[in-house]
């Protein structure tokens, strides 16, 4: 089953919430854990126990694992394997982007069957040109995985690039949306190419109507975005939108029961 179909099935079973595993040093400290690979492992595996089989998508933030070197990457590999064993879709938030053989190597690492870093999808950056992502698109197609392409992010620095208007009169962000839509053409209910669009944006100045793919919406919860904000940006039908909550859930740790209760509360709010 292709990624888009697996995602649609997961949403129908668990709702659209994506929960992040972000082992930020501040969160490790608030959980009473050591600032080393052992603390990282305890944190991450607690999250796996709490979220596995209970949400549609779990999104481990690769950078916080990489910060601990090879032992941290080994923990990330275990997180990916254990979540997939639980039947939970894993979106590795790595934001990789490069050209040629280097992009092909990233694709092999995150999108090729048998790689310990390959979840069900990975975030990628198109800002060396959407065509630079071809190795990732090809690897995802071959293995039935997905990619989420940065399109319109909510950080202030992003606007100078993403909202810049090209010679065709489209913003850079709209050109990325259009390229993703072409890759998803004919796919129902979702294609395998999703977009990352910030949930805290003041306005959605791109047209997503032809995307036929999912939208990852980071910024929900602790960063300020509400259910009302999601509906204001994306419309009342949020079936293809994956609001992402990390700190708003993780601050309820380290107990698995309290983490699960936080997930249940957010999921219920999305159904209202």
Q: Which residues of 39-75 are buried (b: 16+ CB within 10 A; e: fewer)?
A: bbbbbbebbbebbbebbbbbbbbbebbeebeeebbeb
- DSSP at 189: S
**pLDDT value of residue 272:** 65
Q: pTM above the 0.75 mark?
A: yes
How many structural domains are present in the chain? 1
CA distance 183 to 239: 20
Give me the domain span that covers residue 141.
Answer: 3-271
Question: Looking at residue 17, which CATH number applies to its domain?
Answer: 3.20.20.70
The DSSP line for 2-30 is -HHHHHHHHHHHH-S-EEEE---HHHHHH
Look at residue 215 and tell me whether its pLDDT is greater than 90. yes
Going by the DSSP 8-state scheme, the letter that residue 126 receives in this structure is -
pLDDT of 175 over the 70 cut: yes
Q: Which of 9, 24, 95, 251 is catalytic?
A: 95
Asked about 9 being catalytic, the answer comes back as no
CA dihedral 82, 86, 88, 91 (to 10 degrees): 10
pLDDT band of residue 247 (cuts 50, 70, 90) is: very high
């Amino acid at each position: 089953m292709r990624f888009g179909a697996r995602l649609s099935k997961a949403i129908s079973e668990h709702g659209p919430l994506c929960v992040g595993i972000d082992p930020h040093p501040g969160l490790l400290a608030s959980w009473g854990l050591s600032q080393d690979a052992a603390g990282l492992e305890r944190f991450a595996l607690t999250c796996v126990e709490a979220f596995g089989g209970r949400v549609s998508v779990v999104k481990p933030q690769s950078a916080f694992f990489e910060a601990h070197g090879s032992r941290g990457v080994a923990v990330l590999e275990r997180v990916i394997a254990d979540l997939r064993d639980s039947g939970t879709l894993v979106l590795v938030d790595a934001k990789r982007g490069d050209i040629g053989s280097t992009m092909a190597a990233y694709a092999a690492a995150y999108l090729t069957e048998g790689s310990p870093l390959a979840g069900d999808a990975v975030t990628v950056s198109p800002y060396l040109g959407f065509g630079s992502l071809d190795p990732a698109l090809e690897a995802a197609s071959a293995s039935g995985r997905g990619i989420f392409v940065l399109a319109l992010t909510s950080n202030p620095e992003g606007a100078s690039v993403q909202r810049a208007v090209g010679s065709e009169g489209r913003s850079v962000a709209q050109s990325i949306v259009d390229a993703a839509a072409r890759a998803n053409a004919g796919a129902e209910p979702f294609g395998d190419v999703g977009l990352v669009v910030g949930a805290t944006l003041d306005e959605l100045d791109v047209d997503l109507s032809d995307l036929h793919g999912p939208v990852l919406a980071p910024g929900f919860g602790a960063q300020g975005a509400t259910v009302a904000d999601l509906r204001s940006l994306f419309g009342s039908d949020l079936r293809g939108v994956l609001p992402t909550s990390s700190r708003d859930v993780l601050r309820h740790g380290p107990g698995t029961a309290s983490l699960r209760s936080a997930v249940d509360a957010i999921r219920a709010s999305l159904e209202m």
